[in-house]
């Protein structure tokens, strides 16, 4: 008998509602609605519109009900680190800051005057990135932010939307792990780190793990959407946790690349890996489903192209790929993780300026810009994978590319060429699949992640890319490493 689940998958540029129809030997996904997730700029700050996201979630439920769908439950995943401040009366105090807001610039260095970089990493196992929740909270505290000062509770983004649906305040483990406030070994909040930003554990909702029930949708939500009073299940609240759960691997000898606005490359481990090597390479240990750890590194991903396309209003994606194919190889390269690409007003201009300051030929066409982005990403993937191979507790024989970027055949081939090992692409809907998987397991319809991965492997079209032109890519990699070191 087929069972239905609704997955809400919200990324940093768009969100969607996905219906997962699960049977013993099959899993079918159907997109119900898709909606943009726009940054709102007010003066010099960038915010998310939590109310608009909530409205779009309600629309998704309503549309599903109108189609005669009766879901057993719903689940929500989002991007990491960002959070909402809740007042004593239960109201949202202000639109939440975006992690791309500049108020955290220089934040880690200021924080390290009180707790050293080494101590922070040893406690949390989380890579140092200026937008981590701990640095956002510290920046707000230093600025005497009125929302933070009045906050009774702090809810991470999927938990905040879940609160708006159910009235229940929780802290889901995988999303909380991105905050750099959890002890990597106990997997609970570290009191010293909370105290450093003026908080206590009571400022957060009850702790839940993926697969646990949060609460039922409120009577108001049911009335507005026409849905029955069904539960919200805590899934891998961090979208990457949900995506990694759906990697169609049949053994543990793999690395994954969750490819979207961000590229997240890592391996799955049972225990955290925190040592001098992971510290020096700035690898992170984020929470996964079924008690796993995601040892990974964040890499700037398709954000580079997405921001360029904002200025190329008439740019067809497939057309850009064809333009890139016909452009000169390795004409110019960039470090995708250079600070100047975080949130420039003109991404194409920032790429051109990078090439100018590094004495490279300047991209003169859209195809050259796109090829520069793809080749640079593929070379950066190799650099990160080399570090990952030295840290992984098991050998890495294949790279699984999941998420929207898995549909990018040119980048997938470039990646295989660069890393010198097979790349298996798919599923593109990994995050939604992982979200549905945890709901199905909570309902007793599915048993475990390993079994679900076998189902995904057999039921999902996958494509394998094998390395080509490795000598050419090896030479380009030497140039890339020199460029990154000197830029």
Is the confidence at residue 417, as pLDDT, over 90? Answer: yes
Q: How many whole angstroms separate alpha carbon 105 and alpha carbon 127?
A: 16
* pLDDT of the residue at 2: 86
Peptide bond into 265 cis (omega under 30): no
Is the confidence at residue 24, as pLDDT, over 90? Answer: no
| β-strands 262-269, 293-300 pairing | antiparallel
Looking at the structure, give the CATH architecture of the domain made up of residues 247-426+447-487. 2-Layer Sandwich (3.30)
Residue with tokens 């932010």: 145
User: What's the rounded mean pLDDT across residues 382-395?
Assistant: 97
Q: Angle CA(105)–CA(111)–CA(115) in degrees, nearest 5?
A: 155
Query: What confidence tens digit (pLDDT) does each residue in 429-484 have?
Result: 999 999 999 999 999 998 899 999 999 999 899 999 999 999 999 999 999 999 99
User: What's the rounded mean pLDDT across residues 408-413?
Assistant: 98
* pLDDT of the residue at 392: 96
**H or E segment to which residue 299 belongs:** strand 293-300
Q: Angle CA(278)–CA(284)–CA(290) in degrees, nearest 5?
A: 120
Domain limits, the chain:
3-239, 247-426+447-487
CATH class for the region spanning 3-239: alpha beta
Q: pTM of the predicted model, to two decimals? A: 0.93
Is the confidence at residue 76, as pLDDT, over 90? Answer: yes
* pLDDT of the residue at 485: 87
Q: How many whole angstroms separate alpha carbon 192 and alpha carbon 80?
A: 22
* % the chain with pLDDT above 70: 100
pLDDT class of 80 with cuts at 50, 70, 90: very high
Both tokens of 12, joined, read 């940093």
Active site residues: 239
User: What's the rounded mean pLDDT across residues 330-358?
Assistant: 96
Residue with tokens 């300051």: 357
pLDDT class of 22 with cuts at 50, 70, 90: confident
pLDDT class of 23 with cuts at 50, 70, 90: confident
Q: How many whole angstroms separate alpha carbon 107 and alpha carbon 112?
A: 9
Is the confidence at residue 1, as pLDDT, over 80? Answer: no
* DSSP assignment string, 254-276: EEEEEESSEEEEEEEESS---SH
pLDDT class of 92 with cuts at 50, 70, 90: very high
Closest CA to 131 of 329, 374, 303: 303
Is the confidence at residue 122, as pLDDT, over 80? Answer: yes
Query: What confidence tens digit (pLDDT) does each residue in 263-285 have?
Result: 999 999 999 999 999 999 999 99
Q: How many whole angstroms separate alpha carbon 6 and alpha carbon 76?
A: 9
Alpha-carbon distance values, 65 to 70, 321, 344 (Å): 7, 38, 41
* pLDDT of the residue at 114: 96
In terms of C-beta distances under 8 Å and separation of at least 24 residues, what long-range contacts does 466-474 make, across chains too?
466/416, 466/422, 467/416, 467/417, 467/419, 467/420, 467/421, 467/422, 468/413, 468/416, 468/417, 469/417, 470/417, 470/420, 472/329, 472/330, 472/417, 473/378, 473/379, 473/417, 473/418, 473/420
Query: What confidence tens digit (pLDDT) does each residue in 138-156 have?
Result: 999 999 999 999 999 999 9
């Amino acid at each position: 008998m087929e069972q239905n689940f609704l997955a809400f998958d919200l990324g940093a540029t768009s969100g969607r509602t996905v219906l997962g129809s699960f049977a013993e030997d099959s899993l079918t996904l159907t997109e119900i609605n898709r909606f943009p997730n726009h940054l709102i700029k007010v003066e010099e700050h960038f915010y998310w519109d939590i109310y608009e996201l909530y409205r779009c979630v309600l629309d998704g439920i309503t549309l599903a009900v109108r189609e005669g769908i009766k879901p057993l439950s719903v689940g929500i995943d989002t991007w990491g680190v960002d959070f909402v401040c809740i007042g004593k009366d239960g109201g949202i105090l202000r639109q939440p800051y975006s992690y791309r807001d500049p108020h955290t610039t220089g934040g880690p260095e200021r924080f390290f005057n009180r707790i050293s970089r080494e101590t922070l990493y040893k406690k949390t196992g989380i890579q140092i990135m200026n937008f981590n929740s701990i640095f956002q909270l510290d920046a707000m505290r230093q600025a005497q932010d009125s929302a933070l000062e009045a906050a009774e509770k702090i809810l991470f983004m999927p938990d905040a939307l879940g609160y708006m649906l159910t009235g229940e305040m929780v802290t889901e483990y995988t999303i909380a792990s991105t905050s750099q406030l959890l002890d990597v070994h106990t997997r609970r909040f570290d009191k010293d780190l909370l105290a450093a930003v003026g908080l206590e554990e009571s400022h957060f909702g009850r702790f839940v793990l993926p697969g646990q029930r949060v609460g039922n949708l409120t009577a108001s939500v049911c009335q507005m959407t026409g849905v029955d009073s069904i539960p919200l299940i805590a899934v891998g609240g961090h979208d990457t946790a949900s995506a990694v759960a759906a990697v169609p691997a049949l053994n543990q000898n793999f690395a994954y690349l969750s490819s979207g606005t961000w590229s997240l490359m890592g391996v799955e481990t049972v225990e955290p890996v925190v040592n001098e090597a992971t510290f020096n390479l700035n690898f992170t240990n984020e929470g996964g489903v079924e008690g796993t750890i995601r040892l990974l590194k964040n890499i700037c991903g398709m954000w580079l192209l997405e921001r360029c396309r904002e200025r190329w209003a008439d740019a067809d994606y497939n057309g850009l790929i064809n333009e890139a194919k016909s452009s000169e190889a390795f004409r110019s390269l960039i470090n995708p993780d250079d600070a100047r690409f975080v949130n420039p007003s003109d991404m194409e201009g920032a790429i051109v300026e990078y090439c100018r300051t590094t004495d490279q030929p300047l991209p003169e066409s859209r195809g050259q810009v796109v090829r520069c982005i793809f080749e640079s990403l593929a070379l950066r993937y190799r650099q990160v994978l080399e570090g990952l191979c030295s840290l992984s507790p098991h050998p890495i024989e294949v790279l699984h590319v999941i998420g929207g970027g898995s549909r990018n055949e040119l980048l997938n081939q470039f990646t295989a060429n660069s890393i010198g090992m097979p790349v298996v692409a798919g599923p593109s809907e990994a995050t939604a699949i992982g979200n549905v998987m945890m709901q199905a397991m909570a309902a007793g319809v599915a048993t475990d992640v390993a079994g679900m991965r076998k189902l995904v492997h057999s039921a999902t079209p996958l494509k394998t890319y094998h390395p080509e032109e490795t000598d050419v890519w090896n030479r380009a990699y030497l140039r890339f490493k020199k460029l990154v070191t000197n830029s």
